[in-house]
Amino acid sequence: MYKYLYVVALIYVHEMSFAQRVTDSLKSSMNQNSVQINGYQRILQNLEAVPNGMTFGGYAEVLYNQPKGANGDIDVQRLILLFGYKFDDRTQFVTEVEYEHVKEVYVEQAFVNYSISNSLNVRAGLMLVPMGIINEYHEPTTFNGVERPSLDEQLVPTTWREIGIGLSGRSDGLSLRYQAYLFNGFLSHNGADGLIKGMNGFRSGRQKGAQSVFRTPNLSMKLDFYGINGLRLGLSGYFGKTQAADEVFDTPGSRVGLSMIGLDARYSFRKFTARGQFITSSISDAQEYNQLTNKDLGDSMLGYYLEGAYNILPITNRQRIFVFVRYEDFDTHASVPSFTPKNLNFHRKEITTGFSYHLAPGVVFKMDYQRKSTVGGDLDVNQFNAGVGVWF
């Protein structure tokens, strides 16, 4: 606990020494084509320009997935409403309400942002964990592909949000944006059953701010470097232990330790864009957890993806059509503890190729084709996807 507070304090002192009049939109040193902000950044940006009061926004995706030789699925996958309220020049509130598949309702974000200085903010509430790219930047116009990358779904796992408190800000002098938070962790055991497992790692342990179990804090940090025109580099870290219900909290194996490191890069030059991401996780006490729960959690997970895209329309056009290809390789059983068989079908590979047609700022039509396979051979799927997305 003390080392977490020490790290946060160091960041605070450092950023106060570089305080400048800047926003949190990542516009400095990057041309307009490579600027990318997300939903909550846009809400905070809009609040800067208005007197005390409310602003709103949202995004939505309607998707069609058609595996070869099977029924297709067509779905209003998500409809999100974003609201922000400005109490005064220093204090704002941001919330995001999500409707999934028409019938499921979630609160994805709900936090207070307090600006101590122009480059230092204190945030508290339900927030996105800053890991990789997609977990924070998942609005449909900000990424290629009808579906979000599978690596982010399984390893990160998107959309990952928890309740916490911490600091965020930026220093244009160093071309760095930083975030550092203390969160509650994943729930590994609910008192009746283990929730995390080999197939999708920690995904089923996300607590999402819903009557979350909390005993020990977890540290989440991210640094983004934007000092080279058109390039953004990210380094993420998440460290701590999972949570468990009171009935089993002191039972050996009910909780596991997690250290997750992420590297990501985004690049834009004229009509070409590229991005890549690498995620690695080390899990302690996985053997004890598996013995207690009869699950098959690995003791490490590993994955990466690479993507390139090119706009085939003239650069002067308002509309853009990006053709792209993405390759993913990820394994939730990169290594396994003793007495847990390594499942080669948890080592997955995907190739996605298609296009994103940006009809107008905030509106995109997408099509792609995916080839999904596993090293173990149990999965060999060809799938066509199409969708329309909006963000405003």
* pLDDT value at residue 379: 86
Total structural domains within the chain: 1
d(CA 360, CA 363) in angstroms, rounded, equals: 5
* pLDDT value at residue 288: 98
Residue 128 CB-half CA count within 13 A? 23
* pLDDT value at residue 31: 34
Whether the upstream peptide bond of residue 159 has omega within 30° of 0, thus cis, is: yes
d(CA 315, CA 392) in angstroms, rounded, equals: 23
d(CA 282, CA 301) in angstroms, rounded, equals: 7
Whether the upstream peptide bond of residue 157 has omega within 30° of 0, thus cis, is: yes
d(CA 12, CA 119) in angstroms, rounded, equals: 10
Q: Provide the whole-model pTM.
A: 0.90
**Using an 8 Å Cβ cutoff, are 149 and 157 in contact?**
no
Q: Is 240 left (phi over 0), alpha (psi -120 to 50) or beta?
A: left
- CATH number at 126 reads 2.40.160.10
**Using an 8 Å Cβ cutoff, are 23 and 48 in contact?**
yes
In which domain, by residue range, is 64 found? 2-391
Token digits of residue 240:
């701590």
d(CA 370, CA 56) in angstroms, rounded, equals: 35
* pLDDT value at residue 50: 86
Token digits of residue 378:
């149990």
The two beta strands, 176-183 and 218-225, are antiparallel
Token digits of residue 324:
């792209």
Tokens 């116009």, located at residue = 141
* pLDDT value at residue 36: 75
* Alpha helix positions (H), the chain: 2-17, 39-48, 150-154, 286-293
The two beta strands, 73-86 and 91-100, are antiparallel
* pLDDT value at residue 35: 57
- What are the pLDDT tens digits along the chain (392 aa)? 434 434 444 443 343 333 333 333 334 322 334 457 999 999 999 999 888 999 999 999 999 999 999 999 999 999 999 999 999 999 999 999 999 999 999 999 999 999 998 799 999 999 999 999 999 999 999 999 999 999 999 999 999 999 999 999 999 999 999 999 999 999 999 999 999 999 999 999 999 999 999 999 999 999 999 999 999 999 999 999 999 999 999 999 999 999 999 999 999 999 999 999 999 999 999 999 999 999 999 999 999 999 999 999 999 999 999 999 999 999 999 999 999 999 999 999 999 999 999 999 999 999 999 999 999 999 899 999 999 999 99
Among 356, 343, 357, which Cα is nearest to 147's?
356
* pLDDT value at residue 32: 39
**What distance, in Å, lies between the first and last C-alpha atoms of the chain?**
40
Backbone angles phi, psi at 283, to 5 degrees: -120, 125
Q: Which residues contact 202 (CB under 8 A, 6 or more apart)?
A: 157, 186, 196, 242, 258
The two beta strands, 257-269 and 104-117, are unpaired
